[in-house]
Amino acid sequence: MITRNGGARLEIRDLAVAYGDVQALWGISLTVEPGEIVALVGPNGAGKTTTLRAVSGIVRVVSGSIELDGAEIAGRGPHEIVEHGLVHVPRAGSCGRACRSRKPCSSGRTPRERAAEAPRR
C-alpha cells in the first residue's frame, strides 16, 4: 500500500459494514503490505466499493478492525483518516460534473498542505 509517507501496512479484520439498517459486508479480512498493490475483484454488488469506503471512513463500520500501520482507523471520519495519508479517490464521473480532476486530487492533501498551496491575497 502506498501513502503520502511512502509505504504503509493496511490490515482489515472481520469487517462488517451497513448502510443504515441494511448490512452490506460481513467478515472481510485482508492485508496489504507496504508498497504492495492489491486489486479487489468481484461481481457488481459484491462489496468492493463499500470495502474501500469503510477504509477511508465514508461509510459506517458496524464491527471489525481496520489498522493502518498499527493505528486503528475503523469508525474514524474521512477528515481524520486523511491525516494518515489515506484518501478515497472516486473513479472519474462518479462524483458529478463539479468534481472532475482537481477536487479528488486536492482532497488527498492535509489541511496544512492545502493551506500552503492556497493563493495568497
Ligand X SMILES: Nc1ncnc2c1ncn2[C@@H]1O[C@H](COP(=O)(O)OP(=O)(O)O)[C@@H](O)[C@H]1O
Residues that bind Mg ion (CB under 5 A): 48-49
Q: Considering the rule CB under 6 A, would residue 93 count as an interface residue with ligand X?
A: no
Determine the Cα angle at 32 with ends 26 and 37, to 5°: 115
Encoded amino acid at 77, one letter: G
Which residues ranging from 52 to 91 are in contact with ligand X (CB under 6 A)? none
Q: Considering the rule CB under 6 A, would residue 46 count as an interface residue with ligand X?
A: yes
Q: Nearer to ligand X by C-beta: 23 or 106?
A: 23
C-alpha cell at 78: 474521512
Length of the chain: 121
Minimum CB–partner distance for residue 50 and ligand X (Å): 3
